[in-house]
Amino acid sequence: MEYYSALTGLRSVGAFLVFCHHFYGQWFPDKSFPGFFLQEGYIGVSIFFTLSGFLITRTYMSKLGSGPVRFREYWVRRFARVYPLYCLLLSWKFLVRPDLVKSTGQLVVNFTLSQAFFHSWIWTGIAPAWSLTVEESFYFLAPSVFFIIRSRSVARAFWVLLAFTVAFWVLGDLICWIMARGDFFASLMVHQYNLLGRFGEFALGVFIAFVVEKMSCEKEYCEKLPIGAETAFFGGVILIALSLGILSLLRERTHQEFGILSSYGFAACTPASVGTVLLIIAALKGSAFSKVLLGNRCVEYLGRVSYAFYLLQDRFFANPVTGLWKNEFVPVFLSLTVLSIFVYELAEKPLHRRVIAFMSRAKKTVSPPSSPGTIGILARRPSV
C-alpha cells in the first residue's frame, strides 16, 4: 500500500475534535459559536473507526490468507501498536493513584482493554480508552470478515458488510432487552461503546479499501471514481461539519447532555463516517487541499502522536496541564501536544520497535527465515 501522509494527518483531526469535546466547557460558553458545536467533538471517534477500517483492510486483507505466519504478523503488529503505551500509562496512573483501583476485577478489565463491556468500569483506568475496546473487538473480527468478502464481487461485499452491520445492531438490541438490568453489555453501552453498534463505521472503511483492492492499485481506482479530488475533500469536510450541527441541534431540542444520547443521535454520526470516506478518497486521488491541509509535515506528525495525545486526555494526565494554564485553550492544547510528542518519542515509538524486534527474533528461533515481507516493508513508514 502506498503511503499517504494526508491519512496520517486525518488522525490528528479526529484527536483534536475529541480534545474539544473533553474540554469544551473550560473555554467556550455552551451557547457560543464554537462551544455550541464542539461539545459534539466525540465524532472524532467515528473518524478513527472508519479510518481504522480502511487502513487495516488495505494493509492486511490480502496478506492474512498467506498462512499462519501472516496471521502472526497481524497480531504482533496490532498488539505493538496499541498495548505497550496503554499499559505503560495505565501502570503509571495506578502506581501514583492506587486508590483508583477498587478491585482485582477492575485491574483485569482495565489491563485487558475490556472496560467498555461493563457499565460500572467503562470510565475506570484511562477513560478515553473505552474506544480501544471497540478497536480490539474489530481486530479480532476483521480476519473473519476478510475471509468472507475476499473472493466476492464489490456488490456482494457491500451486502455482506451491510448484513453484518444490521445483524450486530439487532443483536445489540436483543442484548439490551435480555440484560436491561445487568452490568455486562448494559443498555446504551451496547450501541455507543461496543462493536455491535459501531461496526457500521468500520464497515465503511472496510468497503472502500475492498474496492481499492479489487481495482489492484489506487491510481487505477481513482481514475474510475466519478468524483473529483477536491469535490471529495470539501464534501468530506461538509459532512463532518453537518454531523456536528445535527448533533448540536438534537442536544438542544431533547435537552440531553450530548446529541448522541437522543433517539436519533447515533444516526447523526453517520455523516461524519461518510465524510471520512470522502476524505480518504480525496487523499487517494491526490487532492491539493488534502496534501496542503492534512498531508503537510506538521499535521502529519501530529497524526503520528495522536494516539498518545488521545490517551493523555484522561483527567489524571490532563489536569496538571489545565491547572497550570488556568484552562486557557491555546496554552493547554499546546502543552498537551508537547507532552504527547515527548511520550511518543521517548515511550511509544521505542516500545513499538522493541516489541516488533522481540517478536521477530522469537519467530526466527522457532521457524526458518522467510522472505522479507510485510514487517520489513511496514517498518519504513508510520505504523498502522
Would you list the DSSP string of 2-52? ---HHHHHHHHHHHHHHHHHHHHHHHS-TTSHHHHHHTTTTHHHHHHHHHH
Q: What is the pLDDT of residue 223?
A: 57
Which helix H or strand E contains 221, and what residues bound it?
helix 218-224
Q: Is 18 exposed, middle or buried (0-12, 13-18, 19+ CB in 10 A)?
A: buried
pLDDT recorded at residue 189 = 65
Q: How many CB atoms lie within 10 A of CB 318?
A: 18
Task: Supply the pLDDT for residue 175.
Answer: 80
Sequence letter at residue 142: A
- The model carries a pTM of 0.89
Q: Please give the C-alpha separations between residue 117 and each of 13, 58, 111, 121, 134, in angstroms, as whole numbers.
A: 27, 28, 13, 8, 9
pLDDT tens digits for range 241-263: 999 999 999 988 888 888 888 77
10-residue mean pLDDT series, the chain (384 residues): 88 95 72 79 95 93 70 88 96 95 93 89 92 95 91 90 93 77 60 89 95 67 70 96 93 85 83 96 92 95 97 93 81 94 96 87 52 33 48
Q: What is the pLDDT of residues 172-206, one digit of tens each?
A: 888 877 766 555 555 556 778 889 989 999 999 99
What whole-number distance in Å separates Cα of residue 280 and Cα of residue 277? 5
- Residue 375 pLDDT: 30
What is the grid cell recorded at 244?
Answer: 456536528
The residues near 328 (Cβ < 8 Å, ≥ 6 apart) are 27
Q: Which region holds residue 30: left if phi is over 0, alpha if psi is between -120 and 50, else beta?
A: alpha
pLDDT tens per residue across span 204-242: 999 999 988 877 644 555 556 667 889 999 999 999 999
pLDDT score of 71:
81
